[in-house]
Chains A and B, each alone.
Chain A
Amino acid sequence: MSSVATTPAAGEVVGMSPRKRRIIKALDIAGLIATIVTFLGAIFWAFPLYWALVTTLKVENDIVQPGIALWPQRFTLDAYTHVLFNTKIGTWYINSLVTAGSVTVCVVLMSALAGYAISQLKFPGRRILWWVILASFMIPIPALIVNHFVLISQFKLFNSWLGVILPQLVYGPVTVIIYKQFFDSVPKELREAAKIDNANEFQMFFRLYLPMNWGITTALAIITFIGAWNQFLWPFLAVTDEKMMNVTVGITQVTDAFGVKYARDLGSAILAGLPVAIVYLIFQRKVTEAIMLSAGIKG
């Protein structure tokens, strides 16, 4: 595609027949319009986030003034200091970190182990297990909320970290599938060499297969973390105690007693989204790679 998109050098155009020159000119105008539209689209897409961010940096009185101020006239961090010191957002942050972190570690480790066994080891029931994992793609997890809730109540885990974590571990199967594919492509010669050195399966996994696939492990860990941090429905159901809420739930369920304060509401939202935004900006490549792999496309 790229060769068509590039602007032809002026010299090339001069040597062509007028008809061809016209066509190329027409092509370039179309291309230019497409590029401009794409840029405008990107601005339109990013604007709501920018607007929210700028609003949080304004004085509350300026926010409700008529007119559109794209930059704060009076710059302030009051919204953030208020949210940080006068709400439970610190506790919610810890809850989100602990639950999303635990989900990530458990899902990745569990899936890597299972993916290794399915990929490299012969054991009875392997084929059935593989088909069950593939079939579980179809199960809509939101449909399980009622019975997850019953289960969590039976375990007496309502309003606890573990209660938030456990049902989220069912997001594992895709990770197992991706791991199996990556372990499948580790060269067999390495396995043979390790076998000659008398390596057992655990050494094989921890010293050979896992280190060889660190790239995919970090990618999977990052999107599992983002997914767990962003969960809304289950943490919303499993927790009613304000002290145990995740940040995504807390900021929407606990409201200020003093009525609407736009800067504060938006400030708390920005703080809730900040960790995943930072993770994404740092690991852009990894995030996109992992997302495409989970959709069944090799990037």
Chain B
Amino acid sequence: MSAADTATDVPAPARKKRFNRTEVLAALIFVLPFVVVYAVMFIYPTLQMIWLSFQKAPLIGAGTFIGFDNYEKLFKDRLFGVAFWNTVYFVVLTVVPSTMLALAIAVGINRLKGWTQSVILACFFIPYILPVSVVFRVWGWMFDSQFGILQPLIALFVGENVPVFRTLPLFMPAVAFITIWWTIGFNILLFIAGLRNISPEIYEAAALDGTSRWRQFTRITWPLIWPVTVLVLTIQLIAQFKIFDQIYLFGNGGRSDATMGLVQLIYRSAFQKNNGGYGATVAVVLFAVIVIFSVLQFQMLRARGEK
């Protein structure tokens, strides 16, 4: 079922049984392309990244070993603090609202039937499959400070047009809102799959007892959908921690430090300031944070799979 629980059904390697030579040879040929690509593009860069974080090095070229100096610098770096808290802020603005909204929409869609259900689902889902550049252009136009269709609405409350992406307190909430618009289809899909797994008989029984709709939701749907909710929350948490594209594009090429996120700090340090060692250090921190979240997710999936 899940990636995690299938791990346990690999049969224990037959240590006593001898391997069949032609079978081993065939297996080697089968796994070779994957293993080579994986070693060169995944394991090697990961180890290199850790090694580079202990060096004072340009992006390209030899560096000198400086121990933990980069890490020391990191924790004193004001910009790292800004990038870290911006990332956390973005995660807070997106993860829980997106999950809750997706659940509500999924419940709504699940009530529909036939082609109306497919059409409505497609409306919510289509943004998810579009590239970030399209999302950037579409919402740049919606919020355009001169002719954006949302400006009359904004002017109604504020009294004038507001350049949303150049107004610092509005930047992150606006980008978070757009990100929710963009990615919610994925969450909705997982919730609909979860809702379909709830037996209709439970609801029929509840309806016979005259249980109110709200009580049906809190007593039946919510507890039964909880495992999917946890899955969606962790997937979103991990995904949104890696935020770069939207902030970079809406932030006009990342010109302002105030809107910087962690991946952007890696980019800034390594690519714009040619300090590969420091960029790698930030990457290691991001790496560590996400590994911790992923281990949690993995454990939860496994717990679910073993039930």
In B92-122, which residues have CB < 8 Å from any A CB? 105, 107-113, 118-120, 122
A258 at the B interface (CB under 8 A)? no
Q: B18-47: contact bitstring with A at CB < 8 Å (1 yes, 0 no)? A: 011011101110110111011011101110
A291 at the B interface (CB under 8 A)? yes
Q: Which of B19, B118, B141, B263 contacts A262 (CB 8 A)?
A: B141
B156 at the A interface (CB under 8 A)? no
Q: Report yes or no: B290 in contact with A138, Cβ–Cβ below 8 A.
A: yes
Q: Which of A110, A116, A177, A201 contacts B6 (CB 8 A)?
A: A177
Separation of A173 and B222 alpha carbons in the complex (Å): 32
Separation of A123 and B21 alpha carbons in the complex (Å): 9
Q: Report yes or no: B142 in contact with A51, Cβ–Cβ below 8 A.
A: yes
Chain A residues with Cβ under 8 A from B27's Cβ? 117, 121-123, 126, 201
Q: Report yes or no: A298 in contact with B41, Cβ–Cβ below 8 A.
A: no
- Classify chain B's interface size: 35 or more
Q: Report yes or no: B19 in contact with A146, Cβ–Cβ below 8 A.
A: no
Separation of A280 and B238 alpha carbons in the complex (Å): 25
Separation of A80 and B189 alpha carbons in the complex (Å): 33
B158 at the A interface (CB under 8 A)? no
The minimal Cβ–Cβ distance linking B153 to chain A, given in whole angstroms, is: 11
Q: A251-270: contact bitstring with B at CB < 8 Å (1 yes, 0 no)? A: 11000000000100110111
Chain B residues with Cβ under 8 A from A98's Cβ? none
Q: Report yes or no: B45 in contact with A144, Cβ–Cβ below 8 A.
A: yes
In B284-299, which residues have CB < 8 Å from any A CB? 284, 286-287, 290-291, 294-295, 298
Across the interface, name the chain A residue whose C-beta is closest to B276: A146
Separation of A55 and B141 alpha carbons in the complex (Å): 9
Q: Report yes or no: A42 in contact with B124, Cβ–Cβ below 8 A.
A: yes
Q: Which of A43, A124, A146, A277 contacts B129 (CB 8 A)?
A: A277
Q: Which of B6, B17, B244 contacts A142 (CB 8 A)?
A: B244
Q: Report yes or no: A252 in contact with B136, Cβ–Cβ below 8 A.
A: yes
Q: Report yes or no: A114 in contact with B133, Cβ–Cβ below 8 A.
A: no
Q: Which of A23, A30, A49, A113 contacts B30 (CB 8 A)?
A: A113
B219 at the A interface (CB under 8 A)? no
Q: Report yes or no: A140 in contact with B242, Cβ–Cβ below 8 A.
A: yes
How many of chain A's residues have a CB under 8 angstroms from any CB in B? 114
Q: A265-294: contact bitstring with B at CB < 8 Å (1 yes, 0 no)? A: 110111011001100110010011001100
A212 at the B interface (CB under 8 A)? no
Separation of A237 and B254 alpha carbons in the complex (Å): 14
The minimal Cβ–Cβ distance linking A38 to chain B, given in whole angstroms, is: 3
Q: Report yes or no: A291 in contact with B189, Cβ–Cβ below 8 A.
A: yes
Separation of A295 and B212 alpha carbons in the complex (Å): 33
Q: Report yes or no: A20 in contact with B210, Cβ–Cβ below 8 A.
A: yes
Chain A residues with Cβ under 8 A from B37's Cβ? 106, 110, 166, 169-170, 172
Q: Report yes or no: A23 in contact with B245, Cβ–Cβ below 8 A.
A: no
Across the interface, name the chain B residue whose C-beta is closest to A34: B108
Q: Report yes or no: B122 in contact with A284, Cβ–Cβ below 8 A.
A: yes
The minimal Cβ–Cβ distance linking B45 to chain A, given in whole angstroms, is: 4
Q: A138-B294, A140-B286 are in contact. Are A170 and B38 (CB under 8 A)?
A: yes
Q: Report yes or no: A296 in contact with B147, Cβ–Cβ below 8 A.
A: no
Instruction: State the B residues within 8 Å of A (CB).
Output: 1-4, 6-7, 9-10, 13-14, 17, 19-20, 22-24, 26-28, 30-31, 33-35, 37-38, 40-42, 44-46, 48-49, 52, 59-60, 105, 107-113, 118-120, 122-127, 129-134, 136-142, 144, 146-147, 149, 181, 186, 189-190, 193-195, 198, 200, 203-204, 206-207, 210, 212-213, 216, 228, 231, 235, 238, 241-242, 244-245, 249, 263, 266-267, 270-271, 276, 279-280, 283-284, 286-287, 290-291, 294-295, 298, 301
A-B contact pairs, 8 of them (CB 8 A): A49-B138, A123-B28, A146-B49, A202-B26, A251-B133, A269-B133, A273-B134, A296-B2
